[in-house]
Each structure stands twice: as C-alpha cells, then as structure tokens.
Structure 1
Amino acid sequence: MNAPDHPAAQGKIMLVGLGPGSHDHLTARARAAIAEADTIIGYVTYIRLIADLVEGKEVIKKSMTEELDRAVEALDRARQGKKVALISSGDAGVYGMAGPTFEVLFQAGWTPDADIEVEIVPGASAINTCAALVGAPLTHDFCAISLSDLLTPWPTIARRLDAVAYADFVVALYNPKSGRRTQQIVEAQRLFLRHRDPQTPVAIVKSGHRPKQRIELTTLERMAEAEIGMLSTVLIGNSNTFIKHGLMVTPRGYANKYAVEAGERNTHAGEQAGRSLSTGLNGWLATIQASGRSAAELAADYGLPEDYIAAALLSELPPAGEEAEIEG
C-alpha cells in the first residue's frame, strides 16, 4: 500500500518590529515570533540586538541598502515551507520591511489566501520611544518625515517639510544625517525657520533605549550644530511646545477651554466641557458667515485657501446640541 501523501509545510513570513532594541521593550508577540521562526533575516545591526534570541536558527544578515534582497530571501525560505522572522527596528510598517516585502510578494503573484502566510508584528517606532525619553512632545498633532533622499526626490521631501512647518505640526525627522548626507538637516532647518520661532524646542535622541543612548535638548536655531547621525531621531516642537525641568512638553490645548485655579478646573466664558471650542468648526462657521467679509479677506486672515473659505461661507450650520466627546 502506498504511503499517504502529506501536504508540504506551509511557509510563513513574520514581519517583526523590535521596538527600540532593548529586550525590555520587545513585545511578547515579537519574542514569540522570533522563537517560532526557523530563519531570521535582517540588517546586521538589528540582528545583533537580539543575538541571544536567535541561537541555533538560520540567520541571514544583510547590509543597510539591501532591503529588497531581505524580502526576496524571506519569500524564498517561505516557499520552502519555513517560518521566517524578517526583522525591523521600531515598527516594521514605519520605514521598515513591511512595505518592500509586500512589493516583492505582489510582484511574485502572492495573494492573502496563498500558501504563504504573512503576519505583521507591531513594535514601538522611534517616534514613540524617543518621545518617551524626553517628556511628552507628541501630545498634540504630529507627523514623521524621513530626510533620506536615497529613494525619494529632494523636492518632494522639501515640500513636505515646508507644509508641516507651516501647519504647525510637531515633527519627527527620521534618517536625519549620515556620513554622506550632511546637508539635508541644514535644509530642513532652513525650511522650518521660514515658519517657526528660532527658539522652538528640539530634542535629538541617539540610540534611544540602547547602551550608547544620548539625548540633547536644543532649539531650532541651534539644531544643525548638534551631534546628529543615522541613529538619531530629531523631534521638532510646534509653536506651543516648551521645555521645563529638562522635559519637552506639547500642550494638548486644555488652556483654550479651562482655567485651573486653586486645584479646581473651570471652563472659560463661552466654553462647555465635552463640547467643541467656541472657535471649533461650528463656532468658526457661524463667525465667518456672520462677519459679512469676503472669502478673499477671510482667507488672508486665516491662512486658508480662498476656495475652501468660499465653500465654508455657503455651508449649512449643523444643528445645536452636538453629542459630547471624551477629552484626552
């Protein structure tokens, strides 16, 4: 009698975010995925961070610019039925290996119902871990921009920098400087100074949560003079960010609504707890519609596109009694 056929083992690719690199900040699922894997693939520096967790496994080390090669290796091993942990520092989906891996998979004809399973294991990105070391700089709106022009044209990066500087975002700059790319951080500073006060707080965190961690608090005016490299993340505050007692803090905006006196919280005149500000969308629409001013005049005052203001002037005001929201 012939032996029964056994289906080939199903391959799996696990895109594992290591967080900042210290074992204390490695998630339980990331640790389990590494233990589950037959093969570990990653940038040599990242593999070094988890050397004690990959003993006895097939380990494939790649250089900094070989991201597509890592993805191809992962697909090749998964086709052999192996479970592969393709590692990134931080989060695999934030300037990590998730994007290039899906590009390679889609080009190979992979679909989610194929024999190769793909799992993304999230990890804390540098924007979170570095912010935690310097205080609370991300309490209000923020974004991340990479200064690496290896794959993105500089005019695209410059437009993004200028837009977020004007829009008053707190900004995290990834890949701010390297041995070859030294001018990009200077250009970023130049663009930000077009819109921001030179004294805007800046935090520079190098190798956060790793043995050679270094933190420097400075200002936008002095930012380019600081020690910055590829292992640094630069956090630029917004117009309300401040530094006090060595901590960088961006207010959430409670002072717009509340006054705290003698330990009690009281709303300002015209404001209600749990409701939009009087200068929120509804109040703002009512104000501009009652102003009698032209779209061009209002656009100049608010720094908004004239066609947007024109549409807002024609908008129907929402009914009163909106549902209260949880603040914070």
Structure 2
Amino acid sequence: MNNAPLYVVGLGPGDARCLTPQARAALDRAQCIAGYQLYLDLTPPELLRGKTVISTGMRHEEERCAAAVDAALAGRPTALVCSGDPGVYALAGLALETLEARDLLDRVPLNVVPGVPAVCAAAALLGAPLTHDFACISLSDLLTPWETIQRRLSAALEADFVCVIYNPRSKGRPYQLGQALAEARRFRRPGCPVGLVRKAFRPGQEVSVHALADFDESRVDMLSLLIIGNSESRALGPYLLTPRGYANKKRS
C-alpha cells in the first residue's frame, strides 16, 4: 500500500470566507481529517461529510499528530487542521518532528498549506498596526520558560518593535499579562495605543483600541490577541496606525 500525503492545513481565523482555495482543496482531497475539536468546529461541515474525523482535546497535540501520520501510512490522504497558519504557533513543526522521530520523512509526503494567521486577521480589523517592524510573542509558558518569554518581550519592547501578544491570558495563568503590560509601560508612553481583538472573524467578534496606561487586562482571554504599538503608533478613532514613514520621507 502506498503512503498517502499528510496535509497540515491552516483554517485561518475561523470564518469560511477566510479559508484559502488551497486549504479548501486540501480538505476536499483528504479522506481523514484530524484536529482539536474547536478547530473541527471551524471547518466547513461539507468538507467533513463522509470522512473519518479524528478529534482530540486541548494539549493532546502529539497524540493528534501521531494519529494523522498513522492514517497517512494506512493509505488515506489526511489533513491535520490548525487555526490561523500551521507554521505560526501551530502544528507544522510538530508534524515534521513526528515524521523525523519515526524516520518517515522520505515515506510520507508532507504538504504544509498556509492560512491567514491570527495576527493578520487582527491587524486587518484594527486598520494598519503592522506596517512597520513587529514581533510576535506568545505568553504561554507550557512549552517555553516564563523567564525566556520575559527576556524576549523586554528585548522587543526596548527595540521599539510593535509587539503582538499571542495566548495573552488564561484561567491558569492570569498574572502573566499584567507583568507583560507592566514591562510595556517601562518602554512606552502612557498613551501608546493597544489594540484588542477577540474572536476575529467569528460570531461575537470584539475590536477595540485603548491607551496603554489604563488598559484593563480583565477584558482579555485566550480567544484574544493584543497588539501593543511602538513609539510612532497612534490611535485614529477605532483604528490603530503604525506609520511606515512616508510622511517623514516627504519632509526630508
């Protein structure tokens, strides 16, 4: 039996209209689809119909990847689905590691199918917060020591990057966002704009812009993404703008 391909598919932010044609085609070709239940719920139902569906809970990523690889080895084209883009805090890396550990890199064809990352979805809703250099940092310390996360965040803030905060606050670690915002206040003016996007392109979507000095962290959960501006960023009503520098070019 020939080994079938393994697709690692980015679903984008969750709205079917944000699913790329390439991702839809991969899901259509797949006979087996594996994913965290929340991500399966974001998959258009017609693309799941009549297929084997492998569902696992949160923090069972290794089990999920192993099951998807096994399905491909059994000759069934398989899609491992992720929200956003599979290469951004998602399962493209673990899929490769799984194939490497099992000596299957030459036996199972791997196709990473890009999706609209959460950061791009949030940026679009906020206007133009990322038109200059930015850094993405996850506050989740499940796989990365908190001291490492703090060091990276401090370096990015000091270097005046716009800072995109993934996984900002959960019930199990409610204190970390407060520490991150305190660090931001060391390097940013009180009025520095902070964009908050929750459930981007999903029912219940929330988009708002706040001043760093009085930002209420209790508004934030794991369905949220935070964008902290740099020294040039400014709020324009409901929008957050980080200028690229065209105005300065005209003056020079």
TM-score range for the pair, normalised by the shorter chain length: over 0.9
* In 2, Cα distance between equivalents of 1:229 and 1:176: 7
Give structure 1 stretches of 5+ with no counterpart.
1-7, 260-267, 269-328
- 2:191–2:212: 8 Å Cα contact kept in structure 1? yes
Following superposition of structure 1 onto structure 2, how do residues 212-223 of structure 1 map, counting pairs within 5 Å? 212-223=204-215
Aligned to 1:233: 225
Does residue 1:90 correspond to 2:84, yes or no?
A: yes
- 2:177–2:217: 8 Å Cα contact kept in structure 1? no
Aligned to 2:135: 143
* In 2, Cα distance between equivalents of 1:221 and 1:100: 38
Over the matched positions of the two proteins, sequence identity in percent amounts to: 44
211-220 vs 135-144, which moves further: 211-220
Aligned to 2:99: 105
- How big is each residue's C-alpha offset from its partner over 1:136-195, in whole Å with a ceiling of 9 and x where there is no partner? 000000110000011110100000010001000011100001111101100101111111
- How big is each residue's C-alpha offset from its partner over 1:180-238, in whole Å with a ceiling of 9 and x where there is no partner? 11011001011111111121100110110001111121122223435101010001100
The amino acid that maps onto 2:160 is: D
* In 2, Cα distance between equivalents of 1:243 and 1:48: 34
* In 2, Cα distance between equivalents of 1:92 and 1:46: 12
* In 2, Cα distance between equivalents of 1:79 and 1:225: 46
- 2:36–2:58: 8 Å Cα contact kept in structure 1? yes
After superposing on structure 2, the runs of 4+ consecutive aligned residues of structure 1 that deviate more than 6 Å are none
The amino acid that maps onto 2:38 is: T
* In 2, Cα distance between equivalents of 1:185 and 1:179: 11
Following superposition of structure 1 onto structure 2, how do residues 111-122 of structure 1 map, counting pairs within 5 Å? 111=105, 114-122=106-114
Aligned to 1:255: 247
Aligned to 1:209: 201
Aligned to 2:53: 59
Using the TM superposition, give the Cα deviation of residue 110 of structure 1 relative to its aligned residue in structure 2, in angstroms: 2.1
- How big is each residue's C-alpha offset from its partner over 1:283-318, in whole Å with a ceiling of 9 and x where there is no partner? xxxxxxxxxxxxxxxxxxxxxxxxxxxxxxxxxxxx
Aligned to 1:162: 154
- How big is each residue's C-alpha offset from its partner over 1:5-56, in whole Å with a ceiling of 9 and x where there is no partner? xxx2331110000111111110001001111001100010110011512111
Aligned to 2:119: 127
Aligned to 2:12: 19
Using the TM superposition, give the Cα deviation of residue 103 of structure 1 relative to its aligned residue in structure 2, in angstroms: 1.1
- 2:16–2:44: 8 Å Cα contact kept in structure 1? no
Aligned to 2:236: 244
- 1:16–1:85: 8 Å Cα contact kept in structure 2? yes
Give structure 2 stretches of 5+ with no counterpart.
none
* In 1, Cα distance between equivalents of 2:58 and 2:220: 18
3-state secondary structure, aligned to 1:257: helix
| Bigger relative CO (Cα 8 Å, ≥ 6 apart) | 2
3-state secondary structure, aligned to 1:251: coil
**Alpha carbons of 1:224 and 1:184: their partners in 2 closer, same or farther (altered >3 Å)?**
farther
* In 2, Cα distance between equivalents of 1:200 and 1:48: 36
The amino acid that maps onto 1:93 is: G
Aligned to 1:315: none
Aligned to 1:46: 39
Aligned to 2:65: 71
- 1:9–1:82: 8 Å Cα contact kept in structure 2? no
- Larger-Rg structure: 1
